[in-house]
Amino acid sequence: MPAAPDPSRLRPLRRGLAALVLAVLPLAGLAQEVAKAPALDEAGALRRGQAVIGNLIGDHGLLDRQGRPLRLSQFRGKPLLVSFVYTGCFQVCPGGTRALNEAVQGMEKAFGADSFNVVSIGFNQPFDSPAAMRAFAAQQGITAPNWEFLSPPAATVEALTRDFGFSYVATPAGFEHVLMATVVDAGGRIHAQVYGDRLSANQVGEPLRQLLRASGVPGELTLAGVIERVRVLCTVYDPETGRYRYDYGLILEIAGGITFLIAMVVFAIGEWRQRRRQRRLAAAG
């Protein structure tokens, strides 16, 4: 007959089981809270995002990573890509920001880094402070001079997110929110919404290229301006590499068309001069 277990040897096991129960109970309570928390209405969020297309964004005041004040109107004059993040997110926001960074790098090579700007806005205030946004940018390895990370005052978050059609819901585990990038034109109006956590250069680049095409050549029609205009027109998305590249066939077609146009202008000027000379000779004779 086996000997009865020593009660003193069972005490550590009992204490361990009690500690395990005490550790699991809060997790079970958290799981119940998460289950009861309101979920994001995805269909409604998409409707709100699409409903603001064409709207002029309010001139909201924010702080940059150094705590310096700026206004959204300071980004006008160039197309602008806008994403909303919260720095307490450990997976979705960092992953989406890195994917957007890859897309931005591809677009910079195709369109030029000076042709557009990017901002990421922290909506979880007061926690998404300038220091938190600065750390978030560093963690994602983003150092592009045309990309800023901004903190709005807590009192303006609701109006700011409403202007962009951005939806989010607070939960015990963080936030449920729409994964999107907003494309804003040079005048401050929303041009397009691009959805997804793995944004590609094609998804974001196509509406950006539409804006750059429609903007024309600013200022005087200089040779540099014409070259930049042609560069934008002649970029195509390569699905194999996930990046934009130049369509050299289209470049040759445009070059041929320009050459033909110049030849026609030279020919017309020559004909006009010859007729003018003939009229002068006829008048003199």
Pair 221, 264 in one domain: no
Pair 157, 208 in one domain: yes
The percentage of residues in the chain with a pLDDT greater than 90, rounded to a whole number, is: 35
Task: Tell whether 15 is covered by a domain.
Answer: no
Q: Residue 135: which CATH number? A: 3.40.30.10
List, for residues 86-130, the tens digit of each pLDDT value.
998 888 888 889 888 988 888 888 788 888 999 999 999 999 999
Pair 226, 91 in one domain: yes
pTM above 0.75, yes or no: no
Task: Tell whether 124 is covered by a domain.
Answer: yes
Pair 182, 261 in one domain: no
Please, what's the largest Cα pairwise distance for the chain?
145
Task: Tell whether 125 is covered by a domain.
Answer: yes
Mean pLDDT value of segment 223-236:
52
Task: Tell whether 33 is covered by a domain.
Answer: no
Pair 237, 277 in one domain: no
User: Lowest-confidence range among 68-72, 90-94, 121-125, 149-153?
Assistant: 90-94
Pair 212, 269 in one domain: no
Pair 257, 170 in one domain: no
Residue 158, pLDDT above cutoff 70:
yes
Pair 205, 70 in one domain: yes
Tell me which residue range forms the domain holding 57.
42-246
Pair 131, 173 in one domain: yes
Task: Tell whether 138 is covered by a domain.
Answer: yes
Task: Tell whether 167 is covered by a domain.
Answer: yes
Question: Number of folded domains in the chain?
Answer: 2
List, for residues 248-271, the tens digit of each pLDDT value.
444 444 555 566 567 677 777 877
Residue 245, pLDDT above cutoff 70:
no
User: Lowest-confidence range among 22-26, 77-81, 155-159, 279-283?
Assistant: 22-26
Q: How far apart are CA 166 and CA 186, in angstroms?
A: 20
Q: How many CA atoms, within 13 angstroms, populate the side-chain half-sphere of residue 137?
A: 27
Pair 159, 259 in one domain: no
In order of 7, 115, 170, 200, the CA distances from 210 in angstroms are 78, 13, 35, 16
